[in-house]
Amino acid sequence: MGVSKATIADLRHRIIIQSLSLAGDGQGGQVETWATFATVWAKVEPVSAKERFFSDQMQYQRSHKITIRHLDNVTNTMRVSFDGRIFQIKGVRRPDERKFFLFIDAEENQGS
């Protein structure tokens, strides 16, 4: 299995990796907020796109592979903000176990 041919020069997109935080709402409940975990350079590549009809509306789902320099503690409970769009992290992989690059498999969901 081959390793990606990505180079540092390919990392041309500025992304924000966000982690979920829970804050009290002052009435005994909690509110979800997203805090910046890291701002890094990345290569954002579309992988696939599909559409489906759900709850009386058309929804579009796009899969992307996001390549960054290795960063510890990125998990699938986080998300990526890029160019005003939000991507849910579905998986994180190290392509060659050398801790040089990190591949993030992410999905962007949009309703019509």
Asked if 43 contacts 13 with a C-beta cutoff of 8 angstroms, the reply is: yes
In a domain, 47, yes or no: yes
CATH code: domain of residue 57: 2.40.10.270
pLDDT given at position 16: 98
Domain containing 53: what range? 8-111
Number of domains in the chain: 1
pLDDT at 8 over 70: yes
- pLDDT 10s digits, 38-69: 999 999 999 987 666 656 666 677 899 999 99
Residue 1 lies in a domain: no
- Say if 18 falls within a structural domain: yes
Q: Nearest 5°: phi and psi at 28? A: 90, -5
Kindly report the pTM of this predicted structure: 0.80
Burial of 41 (0-12, 13-18, 19+ CB in 10 A): middle
Provide the 3-class DSSP secondary structure of residue 25: coil
Q: Per-residue confidence at 24, pLDDT binned at 50, 70, 90?
A: confident
Classify 96 in phi/psi space as left (phi over 0), alpha (psi -120 to 50) or beta. alpha
Q: Which segment of 26-30, 37-41, 102-106 scores lowest on mean pLDDT?
A: 26-30
Euclidean distance between CA atoms 42 and 71, whole angstroms: 12
